[in-house]
Amino acid sequence: MTLREVKELLQAEVIYGEEYLDMEIEFAGGSDLMSDVLAFGKPGILLLTGLSNAQSVRTADIIEAKAIVYVRGKRPASEGINLARKKGIPILSTQYMMYTSCGLLFKHGIPGVSTLQEKKE
């Protein structure tokens, strides 16, 4: 799925990075806890978070996330947007809450980063 398709699925607004919308998104993870993001994050991840301070962008840069989607209509402050621009990390904002955002992406084929496999009935 491209970032453009993520944007449409989540009815998201592009806060920064229109030029990156054709990038391919292969997997995603969501958390408001940056220490968890640092622990589970893998390079190339689409990061969903409700934490809108500059630390969220900094954490995304550290783990080499492809893009950030802020949930619940959150928007980063200008410091975060400036850092995202400098680092080339596109930022989207959706009105959906975390659970719904992740659920929609998962339903449309974007897996998470968990190593635990779903049990087959």
Residues that bind another protein (CB under 8 A): 32-39, 43, 49, 51, 53-56, 58-59, 61-64, 79, 83
- Least Å from the CB of residue 121 to another protein: 32
Considering the complex, state which of residue 5 and residue 32 has its C-beta at the smaller distance from another protein: 32
Neighbours of 29 (CB within 10 A): 21
Q: Which of 17, 6, 9 is nearest to 80 (CA)?
A: 17
- Least Å from the CB of residue 46 to another protein: 17
Q: Are 6 and 100 in contact (CB under 8 A)?
A: no
The length of the chain in residues reads 121
Considering the complex, state which of residue 10 and residue 57 has its C-beta at the smaller distance from another protein: 57
